[in-house]
Amino acid sequence: MKRQTGFSLVMAVFILVVLGLLAGYMARMSSVQHATVLHALQSARAYQAARAGLGWSVARLLNSGDCKAIIAQSPLSFEEMPGFTVSIRCSSRSFSEGETKPVVYQLNALSEYGSYQSPDYAARELAVSIVMGE
Residue 63 and residue 33: Cα distance in Å, rounded? 45
Mean pLDDT calculated for residue range 98-120: 88
Choice between 50 and 10, residue whose per-residue pLDDT is larger: 50
Strands 122-132 and 84-94, by their bridges, are unpaired
Residue 48 is predicted with a pLDDT of 92
For the chain, helix, strand, coil in percent to 5 are: 50, 30, 25
pLDDT > 90? residue 32: no
> If pLDDT is split at 50, 70 and 90, which confidence band does 132 have?
confident
Number of residues assigned to the chain: 134
For the chain, the distance separating the N- and C-terminal CA atoms, rounded to the nearest angstrom, is 102
Residue 47 is predicted with a pLDDT of 94
Please check whether residue 71 is in contact with residue 90, taking contact to mean a CB–CB distance below 8 angstroms. Answer: yes
Cross-strand partners of 77: 85
Strand, helix or coil at 89? Answer: strand
* pLDDT tens-digit series, residues 52-96: 999 999 999 888 878 888 877 768 888 888 888 999 999 989 888
Of 49, 94, 44, residue with least CA distance to 76:
49
